[in-house]
Amino acid sequence: MYLVSDLLKIKGRAVWTCSPRTPLLEALKLMAEKNIGALLVTEGEQIEGIVSERDVVRRLAAKGQCLLDEPVADFMTEDVIVVRPDMTTSECMQIMTQGHFRHLPVMDGGKLAGMISIGDVVRALIGEHESTIVGLENYILGRDYNQ
């Protein structure tokens, strides 16, 4: 079973952030440049929120207009759910499914340790299932079976 710490070893610990005062256009450009779907909104080392492509679309639809110089704070989700490195991918999937989240910051001892996405979690879960299938096939077919 994969842990969040395993995912971070694979994908790295880089977390792209912006300030609550960052203009929306600048945040969107950073997401496009880094090919990511969300930015953590921080003030120093303090997490203030998270802004995702989905947050932006929903807020634009609600406002009926798009002012790209508005601050990210007007678009971000303030209540950020975080996970720990010792949590399993199954636990993360449950949190993401129940909360309709696609991104989870990882906190380790009160410090930001990385961010995982739904894609990271799904890839890990698929890998776990494929490994189980291969193991069962080998057992059934008598491969790699020491007598």
Buried b (16+ CB within 10 A) or exposed e, 88-123: bbebbeebbeeeebbbbbbbbeeebbbbbbbebbeb
**What are the two backbone dihedrals, phi and then psi, of residue 53, each rounded to the nearest 5 degrees?**
-55, -40
Summarised one tens digit per residue, pLDDT across range 50-70 is 999 999 999 989 888 878 899
What CA–CA distance (Å, rounded) separates 102 from 93? 9
Contact 77, 100 (CB under 8 A): no
pLDDT of residue 126: 86
Q: At what angle do helices 53-63 and 24-34 cross, to 10 degrees?
A: 150
Summarised one tens digit per residue, pLDDT across range 59-102 is 989 888 878 899 999 999 999 999 999 999 999 999 999 999 99
CA angle, 118 then 121 then 124, to 5°: 150
